[in-house]
C-alpha cells in the first residue's frame, strides 16, 4: 500500500501548492485597507454602505476603512505600502504626483467640486473684504478663481491666514469671507444661523472636476487590476445605493462611526448626494489639469492619462 500513501501525499502537496505561497484558500477575499481623507462624514457613506452590504466581499475584497490621524496621512500611508487605497482631494493627488509619488485615481467618490468661498457679502464686495484662507495652495486657487469670475482683482481683498478655523472666524465676524467646503463648513454655519453666500468654484470659472477620488499606488493598479476593479465597482454600487436610498447610507455611516449627529450628516449628505460616484470625464480632467497649473496648485499640468488610468 506504499504506492497509495505516496499518491495521497502527492495529491496533498498539489492541493497545498495550489493555495499559493500565502496559504490562502482558493477564492478567499483579498484583505485591503482604505484610508479616508478626513474624519468620517456623509461623503463617505457609500464606503460604509458598501461594506455593510458585503459589496466588497462579493467581489473578492475584504476592505478595512480607517480614519486618518491627519489630512496628510493618506498619501504617506499609500506610498509607504501601509494602505492599499485612500480617498484624496483631487488637488492633493496632483501635488503628490508632482512630488514623485506613484499614485493614481481609479474612481470618483464625489464627482463635482465642493470647494467654495463662503461669504457674508456679495461677490462684488469682496474687493474690500477680509478673506480667510488656510494657507494651502488650493485655497488661493479657489479664491483667485472666484474673484476673477466675479470681476474682482485677486489682489484687492485682504487675505488672512486662519488655518482651518473658517467656521469660528466667520461666525465671530473676524473675516467677511473664507475658503471652505460647501458640504462641511457651509452646513455648520447655516446650522448656527450665520448668513452667508456659497460661491462654488465651478460657478466662477473652474471646471467641474471631481473633488474626492479613490486612489491607489500605480504598482497596485498594474499588478492587481482585479482588486482595483473590485474595490472601484463596489464603491460605485454603494454610491448608487446612497443616491437612491440616502437613509440607508446614513444608517450605515452612523452604525459604523460613533458620535456623529444624524441631523448634521443628513444635511451634509443632501449637499453631496447627487454627486456621489459616477465616472471620470476625460475632457473635464484635462481642463482641471490646466486650471490647477494656471492657478499655482502645481507647476505643470498633471498627466491625466497617467494619473487616471481607468
Cell readout for 157 is 481683498
Contact 212, 36 (CB under 8 A): no
* C-alpha closest to that of 206 among 290, 129, 131: 290
Cell readout for 144 is 483667485
Cell readout for 271 is 449637499
User: Residues 171-197: what's their mean pLDDT?
Assistant: 97
Cell readout for 17 is 501548492
User: Residues 165-176: what's their mean pLDDT?
Assistant: 97
Whether the pLDDT of residue 50 is over 70: the answer is yes
Residue 19's pLDDT is 40
Cell readout for 225 is 487590476
Mean pLDDT of the chain: 91
Could you list the beta-strand ranges (E) of the chain.
30-35, 61-66, 85-89, 103-110, 115-119, 130-133, 158-161, 177-181, 197-200, 212-217
- Over the stretch 93-140, which tens digit does the pLDDT of each residue have? 999 999 999 999 999 999 999 999 999 999 999 999 999 999 999 999
Residue 21's pLDDT is 41
Residue 29's pLDDT is 82
Residue 103's pLDDT is 97
C-alpha pair distances (Å), 203 with each of 113, 140, 200: 10, 16, 5
- Over the stretch 210-241, which tens digit does the pLDDT of each residue have? 999 999 999 999 999 999 999 999 999 999 99
Residue 71's pLDDT is 63
Beta bridge mates, 104: 216
C-alpha pair distances (Å), 122 with each of 128, 150, 266, 305, 307: 11, 10, 28, 39, 37
Q: What are phi and psi of 213, to 5 degrees?
A: -130, 150
C-alpha pair distances (Å), 285 with each of 70, 111, 195, 256, 306: 27, 11, 33, 33, 12
pLDDT band at residue 263 using 50, 70 and 90 as cut-offs: very high
What secondary structure letter does DSSP report for 48? H
pLDDT band at residue 69 using 50, 70 and 90 as cut-offs: confident
Residue 111's pLDDT is 98
Whether the pLDDT of residue 22 is over 60: the answer is no
Cell readout for 128 is 474690500
Cell readout for 200 is 462654488
Amino acid at each position: 500500500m506504499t504506492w497509495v500513501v505516496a499518491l495521497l501525499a502527492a495529491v496533498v502537496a498539489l492541493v497545498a501548492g495550489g493555495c499559493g505561497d500565502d496559504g490562502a484558500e482558493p477564492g478567499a477575499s483579498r484583505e485591503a485597507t482604505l484610508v479616508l481623507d478626513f474624519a468620517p462624514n456623509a461623503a463617505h457613506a457609500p464606503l460604509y454602505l458598501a461594506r455593510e452590504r458585503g459589496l466588497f466581499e462579493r467581489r473578492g475584497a475584504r476592505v478595512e476603512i480607517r480614519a486618518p490621524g491627519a489630512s496628510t496621512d493618506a498619501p504617506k500611508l499609500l506610498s509607504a505600502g501601509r494602505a492599499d487605497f485612500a480617498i484624496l482631494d483631487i488637488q492633493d493627488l496632483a501635488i503628490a504626483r508632482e512630488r514623485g509619488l506613484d499614485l493614481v485615481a481609479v474612481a470618483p467618490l464625489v464627482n463635482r467640486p465642493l470647494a467654495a468661498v463662503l461669504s457674508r457679502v456679495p461677490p462684488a464686495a469682496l474687493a474690500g473684504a477680509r478673506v480667510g484662507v488656510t494657507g494651502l495652495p488650493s485655497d488661493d486657487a479657489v479664491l483667485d478663481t472666484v474673484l476673477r469670475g466675479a470681476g474682482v482683482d485677486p489682489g484687492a481683498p485682504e487675505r488672512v491666514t486662519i488655518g482651518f478655523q473658517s467656521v469660528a472666524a466667520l461666525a465671530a465676524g473676524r473675516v467677511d469671507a473664507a475658503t471652505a467646503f460647501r458640504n462641511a463648513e457651509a452646513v455648520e454655519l447655516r446650522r448656527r444661523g450665520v448668513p452667508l453666500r456659497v460661491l462654488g468654484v465651478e460657478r466662477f470659472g473652474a471646471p467641474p472636476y471631481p473633488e474626492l477620488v479613490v486612489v491607489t499606488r500605480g504598482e497596485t493598479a498594474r499588478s492587481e487590476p482585479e482588486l482595483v476593479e473590485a474595490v472601484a465597482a463596489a464603491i460605485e454600487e454603494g454610491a448608487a445605493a446612497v443616491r437612491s436610498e440616502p437613509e440607508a447610507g446614513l444608517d450605515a455611516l452612523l452604525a459604523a462611526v460613533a458620535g456623529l449627529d444624524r441631523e448634521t450628516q443628513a444635511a451634509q449628505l443632501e449637499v453631496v448626494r447627487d454627486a456621489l460616484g459616477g465616472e471620470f470625464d476625460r475632457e473635464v480632467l484635462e481642463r482641471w489639469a490646466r486650471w490647477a497649473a494656471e492657478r499655482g496648485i502645481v507647476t505643470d499640468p498633471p498627466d491625466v492619462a497617467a494619473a487616471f488610468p481607468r
